[in-house]
């Protein structure tokens, strides 16, 4: 299966704070130089390269005299404001030595939740690639507040890979990949080389948070893998400190954990619905409904709904769950208030139950539905 990685034309690489910095928070110059050299070499091979880089806050620690990542938002954003310039200058200088131009792209959650901005972001990134520019992407930590935050660069990198229809996403971390259990506490833990389906068990063994210098632990990387594989993108988690790790992954060498994508790739509108727009609630379905959705390409009908969680309006995106596992996402035709009244009932009874003249037969039409299982 890793032969497909050798053929990858468009590659997104995410590098985390723990890979880019030393324990004291200062930038690891040697590692950054190696990272740039490998990416420049991929670009020289004719591949399109996108770098999603953490490290802005980490790069700002030393100049501000901070010994560890700040907990409060204001100080963190101040560190990001200082560090972003330092980090970009270094990338610009190093890539320039190999004849490559970089372009900075700072994003917030709104750039993917609003469809018009989602499309504009896609067009901008594709234009940069066409012009031979290597985009360097990061969340805009300086202005982001909770409701605008993407949350971590694992999720950001997977979203970017989905938006531009990348062939491969490489996430560099401070761990070699996904293990059968926590290798720091269990000496019998072994590396999982390939994951062909992201099950609840995979989430269960993904553990908790990462180092004090980063935001995401293994769990966020599994969340990223869920976005990637359901967008038709190969994803590999690998150790950022390993020698020539990017080049080795791109050559198909068995490094880290490889997440195998689904064979069917949803078109752009469905990718936006599933992974761009915000999830506003949850619809829980019964076995018959789940079977019809997963095997027959059916729309979601009220009769198969057993419960509704959260508050949402018509036209918003929700998660579809069966026996505790998310099986799909889609855009609803009814509010949570109305769904509570019609759940478990036949479509022909909806008008009477809601006391309205015209209704949708489907709660979620199959054209507005993305199956994740």
DSSP letters spanning 103-144: EEEEE-THHHHSHHHHHHHHHHHHHHHHTT-EEEEEE-TTT-
pLDDT at residue 268, as a whole number: 80
Distance (Å, rounded) from C-alpha 143 to C-alpha 106? 10
Specify whether the CB–CB gap between 39 and 48 falls below 8 A: no
pLDDT at residue 168, as a whole number: 97
Specify whether the CB–CB gap between 257 and 191 falls below 8 A: yes
Of 309, 288, 306, 283, the closest CA to residue 368 belongs to: 283
Residues of the chain with pLDDT under 70: 109, 112, 141-151, 208-216
**What CA–CA distances, in Å, run from 60 to 177, 212, 215?**
28, 15, 16
pLDDT at residue 373, as a whole number: 80
pLDDT at residue 21, as a whole number: 83
List pLDDT tens digits, range 213-227. Answer: 333 478 889 999 999
Full-model pTM: 0.85
pLDDT at residue 68, as a whole number: 80
Kindly indicate whether the domain formed by 278-371 is annotated with CATH number 3.90.550.10.
no
pLDDT at residue 372, as a whole number: 86
- Strand blocks (E) in 191-260: 194-195, 234-239, 257-259
CATH class for domain 3-269? Answer: alpha beta
Domain spans of the chain? 3-269, 278-371
Indicate the burial class of 184 (C-beta count within 10 angstroms; 0-12, 13-18, 19 or more): exposed
Distance (Å, rounded) from C-alpha 314 to C-alpha 300? 14
């Amino acid at each position: 299966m890793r032969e497909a990685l050798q053929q990858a034309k468009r590659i997104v690489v995410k590098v985390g704070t723990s890979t880019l910095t030393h324990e004291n928070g200062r930038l690891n110059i040697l590692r950054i130089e190696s990272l740039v050299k490998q990416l420049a070499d991929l670009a020289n091979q004719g591949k399109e390269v996108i770098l999603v880089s953490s490290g802005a806050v980490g790069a700002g620690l030393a100049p501000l005299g901070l010994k560890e990542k700040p907990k409060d938002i204001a100080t963190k954003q101040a560190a990001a404001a200082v560090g972003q310039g330092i980090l970009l200058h270094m990338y610009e200088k190093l890539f320039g030595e190999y004849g490559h131009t970089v372009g900075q792209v700072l994003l917030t959650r709104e750039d993917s939740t609003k469809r018009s901005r989602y499309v504009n972001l896609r067009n901008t990134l594709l234009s940069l690639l066409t012009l031979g520019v290597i985009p360097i992407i990061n969340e805009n930590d300086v202005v982001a507040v909770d409701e605008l935050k993407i949350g971590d660069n694992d999720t950001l990198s997977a979203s970017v890979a989905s938006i531009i229809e990348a062939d491969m996403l490489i996430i560099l971390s401070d761990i070699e990949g996904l293990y059968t259990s926590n290798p720091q506490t269990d000496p019998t833990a072994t590396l999982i080389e390939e994951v062909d389906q992201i099950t609840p068990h995979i989430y269960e063994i993904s553990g908790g948070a990462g180092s004090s210098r980063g935001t995401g632990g293994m769990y966020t990387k599994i969340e990223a893998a869920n976005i990637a594989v359901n967008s038709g993108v190969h994803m590999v988690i690998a150790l950022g400190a390993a020698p020539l790790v990017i080049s080795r992954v791109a050559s198909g060498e068995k490094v880290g954990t490889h997440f195998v994508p689904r064979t069917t790739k949803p078109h752009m509108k469905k990718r936006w619905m599933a992974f761009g727009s915000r999830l506003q609630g949850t619809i829980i379905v019964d076995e018959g409904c789940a079977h019809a959705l997963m095997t027959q390409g059916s729309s979601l009908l009220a009769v198969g709904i057993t419960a509704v969680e959260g508050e949402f309006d018509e036209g918003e995106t929700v998660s579809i769950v069966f026996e505790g596992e998310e099986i799909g996402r889609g855009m609803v035709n009814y509010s949570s208030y109305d769904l509570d009244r019609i759940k478990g009932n036949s479509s022909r009874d909806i008008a009477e139950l809601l006391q309205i003249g015209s209704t949708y037969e489907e709660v979620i039409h199959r054209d507005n539905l993305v199956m994740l299982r």
